Amino acid sequence: MTHDLVAALHPLLTAEASAEAYAAGSEPGDLEQAVWLRLLERLETDGPPPDPQGWLRKAVRAEARRSRRTTRRERPYGAEPVADARTDPEQCVLAAARYRALREAVRRLPGRCPRLIEALLSPKDLTYREIAGELGISQGSLGPERSRCLGCLRRLLTPEVAAREVRG
């Protein structure tokens, strides 16, 4: 039953994701992976949708909206102090402490997130294709997996970063 549903929905999902991806600022493969995940979650809890094609169209649009919201909210970090031309000891110690806190948080991540984040942080500057091959997952699922792992990492680091701010 599930295999037939996936086979029947695949062409429609490919077309819908391709149509929505550009406006959402994401890759069609990432949208497809997210919708397949939503379908699996739905099948586990509620069973197959009564109108699979209608459900799929709504799911693609919902994932595209989520992707647009995420893209709007994400902001690049400013330059790290260690990236400055200054090499004063205090800046080096602070940068090392941030690096250590990041690595400790990465080790506490669930599942295959530690391996994925380590690959992303690798000094070898691996491509998505190389990372996917190293982890044994499809390149299309790397984006959604990376997003989930970075979300977990943000939640782990938020208390540590917030605790270090000066108050008063």
Predicted confidence (pLDDT) per residue in 62-90, tens digit: 999 988 888 777 776 666 554 555 567 88
The structure tokens listed for 21 are: 């991806």
Q: Give Cα separations from 101 to 22, 29, 75, 159 (angstroms).
A: 36, 33, 21, 12
Contact 126, 75 (CB under 8 A): no
- CATH 1.10.10.10 correct for 87-164: yes
In terms of Cα–Cα distance, which of 110, 134, 143 is closest to 37? 143
The whole model's pTM is what?
Answer: 0.47
The structure tokens listed for 140 are: 């299309």
How many C-beta neighbours within 10 Å does residue 32 have? 22
Span(s) in the chain for CATH 1.10.10.10: 87-164
